[in-house]
Amino acid sequence: MPRGIECVGSDLCQELAGSRDTTFSMVYKGEPPSRLIHSTENFRLLADLSPMTLGHLLLLPVDHYFSFAQLANAFDEELPELLGKVEPAYRETFGMFTVLEHGSSPGMQSSACISHAHWHILPVDGRRVDELILADGLAPTALAGLEHLAAFDAVPYFMCLHEDGMNVYRPRPAMPRQYLRAKVAEIVGIADPLWDYALVVRKELFRETVALTSAWRVGPDRNPL
């Protein structure tokens, strides 16, 4: 099975490898001791450490990839199966279920490997996200399934997945940073620039999210999700 590329020094990659010298440890100082919600052989589901809303989660591959487009074919069974388990639990806990991704590409790689593939899972109306992206003049490509995401494995893209479908958008040059967070902010009512993950951390939402998803965690005496 294809593996991800080597990544040395990334904060996120170090956290997935079990390091305690990470941004998460520095910000939350052991309260809670972990943000891991669920794990499979090749994926980790985490609480976003700077959440936009209650229930803001991240789904990441354990190995380093630039985007989910790069791994869609490699994990064509594990990823849909995991999503099929997470979505009903998520809807029961938080309501709506939308997946967003800014997929990066090898040409965007930085020395710190900050382009580790990740999906944002949020309780927002994905159809509204699509409307806001369309209003910015980006044209959607509708995908019939996750396997078709592989067609974008060498280019940057924005992806929005929700109950009505899955759309991929090619960004224009010089798009605003944290573009998808800004679109979510318009929906949930966060003023510019307070959606910036470095400006406002919202620790209370993070800790409540971790508490509400505690029953999803893998443990030695239970098999959640």
Residue 184: both structure tokens together:
């979510």
User: What integer pLDDT is reported at residue 183 of this predicted model?
Assistant: 98
pLDDT tens, residue by residue, 105-143: 766 544 344 578 999 999 999 999 999 999 999 999 999
User: What integer pLDDT is reported at residue 57 of this predicted model?
Assistant: 98
How many other β-carbons are positioned within 10 Å of the β-carbon of residue 179? 16
- The model's pTM is 0.91
Edge-first strand listing for the sheet containing 140-143: 36-39, 43-47, 57-61, 119-122, 98-103, 157-162, 165-169, 140-143
